[in-house]
């Protein structure tokens, strides 16, 4: 099996401003959010998601691990990765601060449940946060 070696960093423009401390409004009550790391060490695959609010979404809004089957998550991720990558390749049409990095997600590789679960939930989070649809005629069930 071909090993996938990629580090993907997804982040929003707002987080860059926040992280750099150049935001005109400084709220001392806002805690710094740690990035979410999605990794499968045996495949040498890692995704680092730095997007303000994703950790809270994962902990309070997303369905719990085990709610969806791995096959279901993989099917959704394949569709959404294709659309995401299409938007990355079209920066004049889509916001390059959101669609910054291409995702090398290959259908013939078993990334495991955790990778698929967190990637799936990032796509749900991004669609809600940025008021977009990555297509596929899918209406997720969110608690």
Per-residue pLDDT of 99-140, as tens digits, reads 988 998 998 999 999 999 999 999 999 999 999 999 876 655
Question: Distance between CA 5 and CA 126 in Å, rounded?
Answer: 24
CB atoms within 10 A of CB 103: 19
Mean pLDDT by 10 residues, the chain (143 residues): 34 35 41 70 73 91 95 95 96 93 90 93 93 77 54
Predicted pLDDT of residue 35? 73
User: Model pTM?
Assistant: 0.72
């Amino acid at each position: 099996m071909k090993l996938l070696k990629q580090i993907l960093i997804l982040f929003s423009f707002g987080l860059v401003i926040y992280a750099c401390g150049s935001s005109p409004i400084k709220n001392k009550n806002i805690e710094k959010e740690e990035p979410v790391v999605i990794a499968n060490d045996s495949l040498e695959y890692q995704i680092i998601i730095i997007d303000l609010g994703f950790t809270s979404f994962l902990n309070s809004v997303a369905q719990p691990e085990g709610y969806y089957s791995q096959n279901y998550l993989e099917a959704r991720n394949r569709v959404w990765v294709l659309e995401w990558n299409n938007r990355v390749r079209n920066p004049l049409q889509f916001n390059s601060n959101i669609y910054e990095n291409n995702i090398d997600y290959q259908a013939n590789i078993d990334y495991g449940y955790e990778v698929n679960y967190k990637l799936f939930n990032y796509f749900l989070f991004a669609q809600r946060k940025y008021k977009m649809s990555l297509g596929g005629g899918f209406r997720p069930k969110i608690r």
